[in-house]
Amino acid sequence: MPYIPKEHEKYNLLPLCRKDGGEVFDYPSKLIYEAEQLLGSSVGLFPYNFDSYEDYFASVDGLIRDNSENPEIVSKLSEVREMVWKMNQKEEWSILRYIGPSDDGPCGLTNGKLYYWPTRKENPVYCGVVDDEEFTAYLYPTEKSLWEIVEDPTGMAYQTIYNRGKGYLSQAEHDDFMEQIRKQFGNTEE
C-alpha cells in the first residue's frame, strides 16, 4: 500500500497502487549511479518493486551494513538514503488534474485523473509526473491548457505552468522531441 498523506486521502491518487500494492518513488538517478559504481552492483538501490518506503530503506540499510568496512561506500549509500527520503515527502508534492486529451498508449495520461508532481520545498522545481507505477516521464508537456492545479504547497506547479519555470515543456517541444525519439528507435537497422 503506498503512503498517501492524510490530507491527500480525499483525492483518488495512485488507485492501482492502492488496489494492488506497491509504492512510487522519486529518486536521484545520478547519485544512485555513483553508488552503483562504488558497489559494482545495483542490487537494492533503484527503488523499483518495493511495497513501501520502509522496505526500500531497509534494503539500503542492509547494503550499508554489508559494506561497513568501506567508509566511502557507506557515505555514498547514506547520501542516497537521505536524498531518497527527502525527495519522497509527498506532503510537499503538488497534485494536478490532467485536463488534456486521454492517451491510452504506453505512458499515456488520462483526462480527469489526478497526478502527483514531486518536488522538494528546498528545491521546488518540476521534475516529472508520477502515476500508479513509477515516475512516468520528465517529458510531459506542462502547458496550462493541459493541467489544473489542485494542491501546490511549494508553488512549483504554478511557477512551471504560468511562469514557464524550470522544466516547462510546450506541446510543440514535446511533440518534436518524441518524433526525434521515434526516428532514432525506428532507424536501428544498418
Contact 64, 92 (CB under 8 A): no
User: pLDDT higher for 181 or 83?
Assistant: 83
Which residue reads 511557477 in cell numbers?
159
Query: The whole model's pTM is what?
Result: 0.87
pLDDT of res. 181: 82
For residue 131, give the nearest of 157, 110, 147 by alpha carbon.
Answer: 110
| Res. 136: pLDDT tops 70 | no
SS (H, E, C) 126-179: CCCEECCCCEEECCCCCCCCCEEEEECCCCHHHHHHHCCCCCCCCHHHHHHHHH
Residue 85's pLDDT band (boundaries 50, 70, 90)?
very high
* Residue spans per domain, the chain: 22-87, 92-186
User: pLDDT higher for 104 or 77?
Assistant: 77
